[in-house]
Amino acid sequence: MSDGPPLPNGAPMTVDLRGRVALVTGAASGIGRACAKLLAQNGAAVALADKNLAGAEEARDEIVTAGHEAVALEVDVASAPAVQAMVDRTIARFRAIDMLVHCAGGAGGRGDVVDITDDAWHAVIGMNLHGTMYVTRAVARAMVPRGTGTMVLIASDRGLLGDKSRSAYAASKGGVIAYAKTLALELGPHGITVNALNPGTTDTPAVRRSMPPALREQRIKTDPLGKLSESEDIAEEVLFLAGPAARFMTGQLMTTRMRAG
């Protein structure tokens, strides 16, 4: 069913998601866009949500042109009312949400803690940590009465290792990891699994815009595979976490690869 990248043995990864509905935030580009496309290729109806509506609509059009069902929604995840409207519109269109893939977030600018402003700190924390709570809360309220659901939260290895000159980003992603584990405890009795994924440094448009060339080369050098992952690589990991093979996996942090140094 999937026409995504083949596995090392040449067989494509396939998961039967027909009849299921996926909500993907941050779906206009990068990891979120790749996840939305791969879930749709495997049969899911997909709601693509992003602050960049034009980008979400472009991704939706690609999915629809390929013969799959999708809708594009505008959302600022740092706004609880906007998040609730996103969930309401998804349910109005598809009647339910079976899977949440929460990719929306941002790193903010670089600056040491002695220089960071209150506004810069709150902007990153509001998007990455408050936004994660707003999205999962609204989706959980829709999933709990049905007694089933899957959530995958995109975290970052910076939440474990720190990130020099990006303290707010590291703190927020560390919070997402702890939050995912707590949410798994709360929602498990309702048949809902929650896992977090550390994608490692991935060659997304946001990374290409914001990462200095010297830091990019350092990340490549310290990666045991000697290269950055592509968004499609991470989408394959999300497909596993969202599929039936991970039905008894919850409260876990999946990290794609270790760093050599």
Give per-residue pLDDT as tens, 231-245.
Answer: 888 999 999 998 889
Active site residues: 169
* Res 210: pLDDT: 64
Between residues 99 and 14, the one the model is more confident about: 99
What average pLDDT does the chain have? 89
* Res 227: pLDDT: 76
User: Is 10's pLDDT higher than 60?
Assistant: no
* Res 41: pLDDT: 96
Percent of the chain with pLDDT over 70: 90
Distance of CA 4 to the CA centre of its chain: 18
Per the structure block, which two tokens stand in for 75?
Answer: 């959302």
Per the structure block, which two tokens stand in for 123?
Answer: 């902007």
From 23-37, 67-81, 159-173, 212-226, the region with the lowest mean pLDDT? 212-226
CA dihedral sign, ordered 255, 37, 17, 94: positive
Give per-residue pLDDT as tens, 96-154.
Answer: 999 999 999 988 888 888 889 999 999 999 999 999 999 999 999 999 999 999 999 99
Question: Going from the N-terminus, what domains does the chain have, and what CATH number goes with each?
Answer: 21-254 (3.40.50.720)
Give per-residue pLDDT as tens, 54-80.
Answer: 999 999 999 999 999 999 999 999 999
Per the structure block, which two tokens stand in for 171?
Answer: 């703190």
